[in-house]
Chain A
Amino acid sequence: MALIDDSAFCRELNEIADYIQSLRREISALQANDLRHKRIPAAGQELAAIVKATELASNTIMECAEAAMAADPSDPAAYKALVTERMTAVFEACAFQDITGQRVAKVIETLEHIEARVSRFADATGAKDANGPASDKEAAEVERKLRLFIHGPPLAGDGAGQAEIDKIIEGEAKSASQDDIDRLLA
């Protein structure tokens, strides 16, 4: 009887050892250090460069518009030259769209890379999601966003349009949903 128990115990230990080996292979395949030290920081730098480029282009375009609007039209030749010069600068500034498009493509590539690795890891380990936020900091941020109704810009068709908003402000809208009421009373 004792021999049978020992054999079963050894088999279980071997299975656990195999599982740990498999888990180590999958963790290694995740290449978490490559993601953490290289790919994610690089994606962050691309996004920061996008913000900077769009801000720079917006400022250039607005400066041109402001200069054209403030220009003195009493001298038509000088006025035309100024407007032409500023509009050329607007066209040049719009080149940001090409560069930022390429940067966005690199960020998408990184996200797809992370998705593929995490999906493989989740499938191989049979990982199940834990409920709730991963840290106190994340929990506090989730709570703040819920309390202050912070969602960020919606995708097309997801938020209310100006006409629907006008109806709510003017008091003509249909009744709020239970979810709306619950959120307001929470």
Chain B
Amino acid sequence: MSADVSMPILIVDDYKTMIRIIRNLLKQLGFEDVDEAADGSEALNKMRGRKYGLVISDWNMEPMTGYELLKEVRSDPALGKTPFIMVTAESKTENVIAAKKAGVNNYIVKPFNAQTLRSKIDAVFAD
């Protein structure tokens, strides 16, 4: 099964430049319906107002980090099954293990390219 290019995607990052990069890469991959949020709490509010097919989130944001967002999403019955990819410069092994334990579907370390983003999205929807 491959990803539905019409699904809405939520990008969560506190750097507008990174949001723009991911938005452009997603556009190249055929995904046009893309929303954005600047931190975990804004993302959570948006997720409670719209059903997203995929969340792509940074880790290090304030006030709510991507890690806290992931745990909130997984503990919410209405949102718990939303596919979630972490895209972050946090590349310590303990971060990856913590994210996996919290239920992340995939993990991309910055900087990354379109091919990596495509392969991780494919992997999430192939599961």
B98 in complex: contacting residue of A59, A149, A154, A160, CB < 8 Å:
A149
Looking at B31-39, B43-51, B74-82, B103-111, the stretch in contact with chain A turns out to be B103-111
A159 in complex: contacting residue of B20, B60, B91, B106, CB < 8 Å:
B91
Given contacts A162-B109, A165-B107, contact A149 B91 (CB under 8 A): no
Looking at A11-19, A83-91, A93-101, A177-185, the stretch in contact with chain B turns out to be A177-185
- B71-111 CB mask vs A (1 if < 8 Å, else 0) is 00000000000000000011111111110110010111110
B2 within 8 A of A: no
Cα A162 to Cα B96 with chains together (Å): 11
Contacting pair B96 A151 (CB below 8 A)? no
Cα A165 to Cα B92 with chains together (Å): 9
Using a CB-CB cutoff of 8 Å, which residues 8-27 of chain B contact chain A?
17, 20-21, 24
B6 within 8 A of A: no
Contacting pair A154 B96 (CB below 8 A)? no
Cα A54 to Cα B16 with chains together (Å): 12
Chain B residues near A (Cβ < 8 Å): 17, 20-21, 24, 59-60, 65, 67-68, 89-98, 100-101, 104, 106-110, 112, 116
Contacting pair A164 B98 (CB below 8 A)? no
Given contacts A151-B92, A160-B91, contact A169 B100 (CB under 8 A): yes
A132 within 8 A of B: no
A-B pairs, top 5 by smallest CB distance, nearest first, are: A159-B91, A153-B89, A168-B96, A58-B17, A180-B94
Contacting pair A184 B60 (CB below 8 A)? no
Cα A132 to Cα B12 with chains together (Å): 34
List, in ascending order, chain A residues with CB within 8 A of B112's CB. Answer: 162
- Kindly state the interface size class of chain A when it binds its partner: 20 to 34
- A49-70 CB mask vs B (1 if < 8 Å, else 0) is 0000001001100100110000
Cα A152 to Cα B95 with chains together (Å): 11
CB distance from A162 to the nearest CB of B (A): 5
List, in ascending order, chain A residues with CB within 8 A of B98's CB. Answer: 149, 183-184
List, in ascending order, chain B residues with CB within 8 A of A127's CB. Answer: none
List, in ascending order, chain B residues with CB within 8 A of A149's CB. Answer: 59, 67, 90, 92, 94-95, 98
Task: Give me 26 A-to-B residue pairs in the complex whose CB atoms sit less than 8 angstroms apart, sorted by A's number.
Answer: A58-B17, A62-B20, A65-B24, A66-B24, A149-B67, A149-B90, A149-B95, A151-B90, A152-B60, A152-B89, A154-B91, A161-B91, A165-B96, A168-B100, A169-B104, A169-B107, A173-B93, A176-B94, A176-B97, A179-B94, A180-B93, A180-B94, A183-B94, A183-B98, A184-B94, A184-B101
List, in ascending order, chain B residues with CB within 8 A of A165's CB. Answer: 91, 96, 107-109
Contacting pair A168 B93 (CB below 8 A)? yes
List, in ascending order, chain B residues with CB within 8 A of A151's CB. Answer: 90, 92, 95
Contacting pair A159 B109 (CB below 8 A)? yes
List, in ascending order, chain A residues with CB within 8 A of B17's CB. Answer: 55, 58-59, 62
Cα A162 to Cα B89 with chains together (Å): 11
CB distance from A16 to the nearest CB of B (A): 48
